[in-house]
Structure 1
């Protein structure tokens, strides 16, 4: 069989220079019965048959897979993710006692008591007095060191963009092995994809009621393993052209920030769980607070009580609901809040510094679900959503 564009000398001799000029006078390979090399088919695809050995490579090249084209993105400054305080959790069965001084703490006097529940403190220092150790909280209260255990804060950050990507992208939210084909019948590959791996989507197939996404050459993952951003240069219907807006996708649990039609930032979030849904709609940022305590309880027996000191980088957009930094969990990509949109500390700070009062916030749920609000929300509640 003659190979167009290349003369091969057999019996161990070296390959001669390609005869590309000669190919100009030959009929297309699909008419002549010739087979193209991979390189030639990618150079002159019109001359080659659709089922030649280079057709698969050509298909991947057209999809942007060969060679893989990176997103037009960069990581944000890691310094944004550095918390201003340390944080500690109080045992769920224990009250939190906040004292105005070391003397009061030593004598158990004049304590402000918080109910047992989901309780966290911030602290700026740990000191020792008379053989006992104490936290000095972010608000300068005193807490016994034995009453709360320090926690580590995850420093996940999203991506900054210098151009709007041409395809959907996102993050792995559940560590997984991809499959060689869409559906459970595809062989499980040995390429381990840890949580927060950035992926791009090159093709989508629906199998057994699930969307499967092609994220690499013969690598497929199902929709439950990823949180996606689908870039859109057009603003939502109620958002004026030429402005900034934030899109929150409740189905994908992602956030995307746009400036005059260009994607500038994207990340994973954690929105409200039933019955404390994050409400779909179009809103505007109406208040910014760099840090504040949040607390509340909705059950009659206070079994769901929470108290969180120094919640950072808060942007209120829908009554009590806000975008804010989160130090008490690392569940980004999944619903788990009391109605607010939880972000990592670094991501929340970036959005806080980028957004202005009146920046638009578009909350959408492409699944079509529009949950009813469990109760009427006051404009600025005593008990904040988290």
Structure 2
């Protein structure tokens, strides 16, 4: 059994390659709770608060430049089912596909393949993803369907599988949260008491539902969180966000980002006030994300990423969006290839759902000039602080 103080390596916190799917049921949890944990706290934008006309709870995200801003979902409001939605480019700059067979030949045209001409290259083996532009371009030739992966490069359509990125997004906070809040990581039936059996009368909570945490108790070395009246859940099933003190060295008006490796969450601050929070996926145990306080030193709207060449874990990711490198080659960036947020998943970088990555990219510094793909931090345009800790 995993103790209350150590979840590292737990099956609850390590993605096993499965894509978690929200079941679509929107449930809200309320409680009278302690005196300071009120349902009508405007900073938490709970359903009770919205019912009282707290318009600040409905402010849209100001960040996206490419698409119409979608309202940020405040604590208490469930996330959208990531399997829903028809158009991948509503979320990311391109349509992306995974290469699902090995050693895929790439031809200058489908006709070259029909004529028996040699391919221009071979995609090889590994965890490989390609971008297909805004819309895939398909060509029918000799009874086969081909798709263009770059100008003058075609592969058989059967060699790739288009993937729809996660539609999950974190929350933009109107005011400082008065109590911690958390996202549900796995479907769970709350218990009436900490450590007790699931309560069949309690509403089931689904992945990406969001709850407030009013109290905690440890039972048999496992921490339990109170999320409502007579409603307790195992802390290993949530990713929690709590307000943190500004790290030493960060100025009182500066922007900074907190990455909590233990909780697999991120919070963005302006001075001492939290303004945004979400789930992340940091490095797997063998590629742990380095801890420390650093600044973003370069930002790129899109760029290729690859690593472990010549090894079994080789990966190639084309046109990764909204990259913010903060510790050498370790960065925050959008991840279009999985929906495992809240669990470690990466080769060391901090993976973000696309909407979160875009929001943070436009909020952080250095500011990328319009019409350019990248920018380096300078004394006049310094990078936002990033504090990674466990």
TM superposition score normalised by structure 1:
0.73
Indicate conservation of the 8 Å contact 1:81/1:346, yes or no: no
Give the structure 1 partner of residue 253 of structure 2.
Answer: 242
User: For residues 58 and 159 of structure 1, do their structure 2 counterparts lie closer, same or farther at Cα, with a shift above 3 Å needed?
Assistant: closer
**260, 270, 280: which is aligned to 1:259?**
270
Report SS of the residue matched to 1:62: coil
**111, 114, 139: which is aligned to 1:128?**
139
Unaligned runs of 5+ in 1: 1-56, 366-386
User: For residues 186 and 156 of structure 1, do their structure 2 counterparts lie closer, same or farther at Cα, with a shift above 3 Å needed?
Assistant: closer
Give the structure 2 partner of residue 95 of structure 1.
Answer: 103
Report SS of the residue matched to 1:347: helix
What is the alpha-carbon distance in structure 1 between the residues aligned to residue 328 and residue 31 of structure 2?
A: 52
2:87 pairs with 1:114: no
Give the structure 2 partner of residue 362 of structure 1.
Answer: 387
Give the structure 2 partner of residue 51 of structure 1.
Answer: none
Over aligned residues, Cα RMSD in angstroms? 2.5
Indicate conservation of the 8 Å contact 1:65/1:217, yes or no: no
Give the structure 2 partner of residue 215 of structure 1.
Answer: 227
Give the structure 1 partner of residue 304 of structure 2.
Answer: 293
**273, 279, 285: which is aligned to 1:274?**
285
**347, 353, 359: which is aligned to 2:362?**
353
User: For residues 355 and 101 of structure 1, do their structure 2 counterparts lie closer, same or farther at Cα, with a shift above 3 Å needed?
Assistant: farther
1:174-205, CA deviations, whole angstroms, 9 ceiling, x for partnerless residues? 11111111113564544110100011111111
Report SS of the residue matched to 1:348: helix
Indicate conservation of the 8 Å contact 1:105/1:143, yes or no: no
What is the alpha-carbon distance in structure 2 between the residues aligned to residue 202 and residue 347 of structure 1?
A: 26
2:148 pairs with 1:152: no
Unaligned runs of 5+ in 2: 1-29, 46-56, 62-68, 72-88, 367-382
What is the alpha-carbon distance in structure 1 between the residues aligned to residue 355 and residue 39 of structure 2?
A: 33
Per the TM alignment, residue 210 of structure 1 is displaced from its structure 2 partner at its CA by: 1.5
1:244-265, CA deviations, whole angstroms, 9 ceiling, x for partnerless residues? 0000000000000001221111
Indicate conservation of the 8 Å contact 1:120/1:307, yes or no: yes
Indicate conservation of the 8 Å contact 1:115/1:305, yes or no: no
Who wins on radius of gyration, i.e. which is larger? 1
Per the TM alignment, residue 150 of structure 1 is displaced from its structure 2 partner at its CA by: 1.6
Give the structure 2 partner of residue 170 of structure 1.
Answer: 182
What is the alpha-carbon distance in structure 2 between the residues aligned to residue 264 and residue 212 of structure 1?
A: 27
**324, 344, 350: which is aligned to 1:315?**
324
What is the alpha-carbon distance in structure 2 between the residues aligned to residue 347 and residue 167 of structure 1?
A: 22
Indicate conservation of the 8 Å contact 2:213/2:226, yes or no: yes
Per the TM alignment, residue 104 of structure 1 is displaced from its structure 2 partner at its CA by: 4.3
Give the structure 2 partner of residue 85 of structure 1.
Answer: 94
Give the structure 2 partner of residue 62 of structure 1.
Answer: 35
1:126-151, CA deviations, whole angstroms, 9 ceiling, x for partnerless residues? 32243432222366742221211222
What is the alpha-carbon distance in structure 2 between the residues aligned to residue 290 and residue 316 of structure 1?
A: 11
User: For residues 139 and 212 of structure 1, do their structure 2 counterparts lie closer, same or farther at Cα, with a shift above 3 Å needed?
Assistant: farther
Per the TM alignment, residue 86 of structure 1 is displaced from its structure 2 partner at its CA by: 1.7
Give the structure 2 partner of residue 44 of structure 1.
Answer: none
TM superposition score normalised by structure 2:
0.72
2:361 pairs with 1:336: no
What is the alpha-carbon distance in structure 2 between the residues aligned to residue 266 and residue 65 of structure 1?
A: 20
What is the alpha-carbon distance in structure 1 between the residues aligned to residue 328 and residue 151 of structure 2?
A: 26
Per the TM alignment, residue 66 of structure 1 is displaced from its structure 2 partner at its CA by: 5.9
Give the structure 1 partner of residue 243 of structure 2.
Answer: 231
